[in-house]
Structure 1
């Protein structure tokens, strides 16, 4: 039996999918599921989430019908789901205007997250293997130390990296581990990181030669300053990270050894995964002049706060508090406004003496990233301040 045209007159959704004579360009939810690789329950979920909706829903049975030209998006959705793209970002990909590049930017951000996650997993699994080996050989583990990590790095490269992050180390914190700089070596890269919880600075240097496993050690600021002083001779230096010790061997037989800090350093990889919606290039001198001479507001404990305006046309400046920003932190024409500590911003601008900077912003309540345009691996992150 064939019921004329309307699924509303059928007995139930299952029978409707098999017995209804519908338009040739329409497919039932079951057919769409089979042809796209999605399940029926997944199609219902994405409809409810407003990500992928049917062309028509029967008002009496609630049965969903899809156009033939929706299959391409359904198959794309299936693949995005397989790689774990979050629902909100799937929505952005499907809604992206053709030729805008927005869909590719979403995928690039997700790929970076996956790569960072894989790097984190490898690091953790390496540590787990060491613990398993110690557990399986209890007699040897009590009398032997974990293998030391020894590597060479260019003195000038290490000096530049330390200069780019030293300002962000905490001077007086209830967390002693923040009074140091993290030395994190893996493969051919050494990353150095400092943070006082209100800002974070990251830089890196190439590692031509590495002996031993990857390692992470927090080096106290006085030892960091001592290391920096021995880098003036140029050439290459050798660093050894050996449990609770760090050793630097420089040219002319100069050597420095110090104790590492104990404690868990913040997970900088997770904290630096910023979803920036705007990237703005600006000369460091121009931004420094604008911040130093612009309007500011003094808040608790005497901190000076500036309202940084990042315009959609690439303009950057400091505006007065009454410059017309709405409740969402956006002015009528001059883009996003972010309140930040002026001294912290000036230190981030000057760290490493870059000539050209790239500002990455998302919203007034998300961190501001300040990158060295000539070295994408060197950047600072400032937490925004909520003005009373």
Structure 2
């Protein structure tokens, strides 16, 4: 027979845990010395103890552990599989809930470290060019987050001030900002986060040349275009303070022919399958550098000096398309600094991409 010390050593359960599971009637020793109270176990109980240790590490409730052990010893595999599957579903649900809570906590922490302008609940009605609003939405739509665990990023920020309307989208790895003029708003700054489906419905109404009317009343957002209208509820979340995030140090600027540069990206060298350190998702990288003063080049893998910068190629191609110009300015800073894509004729509409650290 095995002593309690030997059982603890071979099973992965501590002596105190074995005593606890004895008292709980989960793993009862084969014999207890009536004088010393010392516990002894049959050799075949080692497998049961090891199973118990695994279930314990998986945080299974004691009541379920008792049932699993009973089913295991009785060869009731259907019972055991059902209990394991049910517990796995509970763990997955708990992990999802925990991620949601931590996401909220991160936002609250960001709020403490970088005070943001809170979402306002006042009302506003303004007129905006349908053509300009359509162009603004097209310029930022690609950067909207699709991560269900970050609901505050699952829409487009409408930031309304006296000097016009800014629309902003970000998924943490990229951010896009666009500006358009407005008429009719002379009140305080007003921000609402328009959920993606509503923003897309708004875009579908912007086919005409006549101005449209944008209304905000509390958490309700309305867009009227002629006799057509779409409306919905804004997201009840604060949006990150994008003005702090887009305050970049001046980098080296290169004016690029979009068609030529796009072809260079699509056909040029790429580092395939690199993993984004932020979320572990693999992506293809393009390594960029500025040569001859202001010429942006796509470098060979491993080529270039310490100032090279690597970006997600798909994200860069999308940003070029959203720029909607034959020529764009690409601003490159340090390898760890965001890359900016700007319009030569419109400094208020731009996007930034976070670089990906290269592992040589």
TM-score under structure 1 length normalisation: 0.59
Q: How far apart are the structure 2 equivalents of 1:227 and 1:277?
A: 36
- 1:249 Cα deviation after fit: 0.8
Once residues 269 and 245 of structure 1 are traced to their aligned partners in structure 2, the CA distance between those partners, rounded to angstroms, is 25
1:212: Cα distance to partner? 3.9
Q: Which residue of 1 aligns with 2:263?
A: 289
Q: Deviations over 1:187-242 (max 9, x none)?
A: 12100000000000000101122154321000001000000000002210011122
Does structure 1 residue 361 correspond to structure 2 residue 336? no
Query: After superposition, what is the alpha-carbon deviation per residue over 1:315-361, rounded to whole angstroms, capped at 9, x for unaligned?
Result: 11111122143xxx23xxxxxx1100000000000004211111112
In structure 2, the CA distance between the partners of 1:209 and 1:316, relative to structure 1 (3 Å rule), is same
CA distance in 2, matches of 1:248, 1:365: 40
| Residues 289, 304 of structure 2: 8 Å contact kept | no
Give the match for residue 282 of structure 2.
Answer: 302
Match of 1:231 in 2: 206
Match of 2:169 in 1: 194
Query: Conserved in 1, the CA contact under 8 Å of 2:124 and 2:217?
Result: yes
- Given that 1:291 and 1:317 are in contact with CA atoms closer than 8 Å, whether structure 2 keeps it comes out as no
Q: Does 1:338 align with 2:309?
A: yes
2:293 maps to 313
Q: CA RMSD in A?
A: 2.1
Check conservation: 2:285, 2:312, Cα contact below 8 A: yes
d(CA) in 2 for partners of 1:211, 1:162:
23
Give the SS at the match of 1:316.
strand
Higher mean Cα deviation, 153-162 or 211-220? Answer: 211-220
What is aligned with 1:261? 235
Instruction: Give aligned pairs, total.
Output: 240
Alignment partner of 1:271 is 2:245 = yes
**What residue in structure 2 maps to residue 168 of structure 1?**
143
Contact 1:149/1:211 (<8 A) preserved:
no
Report whether the alignment pairs 1:375 with 2:313. Answer: no
2:124 and 2:185 in contact (8 A); partners too: yes
Q: How far did 1:244 drift? A: 1.0
Q: Deviations over 1:129-181 (max 9, x none)?
A: x9xxxxxxxxxxxxxxx530111100000000000000000122411111100
Asked whether the 8 Å contact 2:128–2:182 carries over to 1, the reply is yes
Between the aligned partners of 2:293 and 2:260, the Cα distance in structure 1 is 16
Tell me which of the two structures has the higher relative contact order, counting C-alpha pairs closer than 8 angstroms and 6 or more residues apart: 2
Determine the C-alpha separation between the residues in 2 that align with 1:374 and 1:241.
30
Structure 2 residue runs of 5 or longer lacking an equivalent are 1-113, 276-280
Runs of 4+ in 1 over 4 A off after TM superposition: none
Tell me, in whole angstroms, the C-alpha distance in 2 between the residues paired with 1:287 and 1:265: 33
Match of 2:87 in 1: none
Q: Equivalent residue of 1:299, what SS?
A: strand
Using the alignment, how far apart are the partners of 2:326 and 2:183 within structure 1? 27
Shift of 1:304: 0.4
Q: Distance in 1 between matches of 2:192 and 2:323?
A: 22
Structure 1 segments unaligned to the other structure (5+ residues): 1-119, 131-145, 331-336
Find the aligned partners of 1:342 and 1:240 in 2 and give their Cα distance: 38
State which of 159, 181, 185 in structure 1 corresponds to 2:156: 181
Match of residue 241 from structure 1: 216
Q: What CA deviation, in whole Å up to 9, does each residue of 1:258-317 have, x standing for no partner?
A: 110111211100000001231221121122111111111121333101101122521111
Q: Matched residues in 2 for 1:281 and 1:173: separation?
A: 37
- Match of residue 351 from structure 1: 322
- Bigger Rg over Cα: 2
